Amino acid sequence: MIKRILAKAARWLLVLMALSLIPVIVLRWVPTPGSMLMLERWAAARADGGLDIRHQWIAYDRIPDNMKMAVIAAEDQRFAEHFGFDLQAIRAAMEHNRQGGSVRGASTLTQQVAKNQFLWSGRSWLRKGLEAWFTLWIEVLWPKQRILEMYLNVAEWDEGVFGVEAAARHHFGVSASVLSDRQAAQLAAVLPSPLRWSASRPPAHVQQRAGWIQRQSRQLGGRHYLDQLESGRPLPDWLTVEHWRSRF
């Protein structure tokens, strides 16, 4: 009896796992109509009359290099190298937190896409496990430029303002395609707290961070870095057939 229940539960788990991959596969090519975070923000504000969600998809080739590099410099400088999880950043964050500093995270752009697009906000082991699941498959099924494109189209930049196109129009009155280097850096600089800080009216510490982001973008190599990212990279050993053949 117990074996039958366990077998049935295992089959249902496999079905749910397979179904969870459908939106990941579809969004590899289709622009997202919205995200779970957008839905959550709208639902939370519904009691007060609802929230006007501003979101407009902009294709990767229309997003300027300075904006792409600004978020990479600010959020995930090893984006072109890692496979969804930056182990160096995780170890550094754990050591920093262990020593009693302010709590530091180590989420990559891929993890943030997984969380914002597919999951609810908050902290729990279940959500963390699902975040890791979606992060893994996003990295396997999407090229890096698609991950960056999705991140820039679902990131939150103010209450109800999602995606870089809506953010550029909201904060600067221009399309994202014509953002200046400084405007791009200011947008990236507020990402840790987009509901507290304004990209168009940044406080002094955000302006300093924007300057640091501009310097980091140049040091990372700008277009050279993006060429590396867009050219693709080989799969890690643990995702190759040869690796698993050698285990059996």
Q: Which residue has the higher pLDDT, 110 or 1?
A: 110
Rounded distance, CA 187 to CA 179, Å? 10
Q: How much is the average pLDDT of 145-159?
A: 96
- For the chain, domain boundaries: 23-235
Task: Residue 79: name the closest of 129, 131, 139 by CA.
Answer: 139
Residue 179 pLDDT exceeds 50: yes
Residue 138 pLDDT exceeds 50: yes
pLDDT value, residue 55: 95
pLDDT value, residue 52: 85
Q: How do beta strands 161-162 and 54-55 pair?
A: parallel
pLDDT value, residue 4: 74
Tokens of 195: 């509901």
pLDDT above 70 covers a percentage of the chain that reads 83
Residue 104 pLDDT exceeds 90: no
Single-letter code of the amino acid located at 213: I
Task: Residue 150: name the closest of 69, 59, 39 by CA.
Answer: 59
Helix ranges, the chain (H): 2-26, 36-45, 65-75, 87-98, 109-118, 125-141, 144-154, 164-172, 181-189, 204-220, 223-230, 241-245
> Confidence band (pLDDT; 50, 70, 90) for 93?
low
Topology, domain 23-235 = Penicillin binding protein transpeptidase fold (1.10.3810)
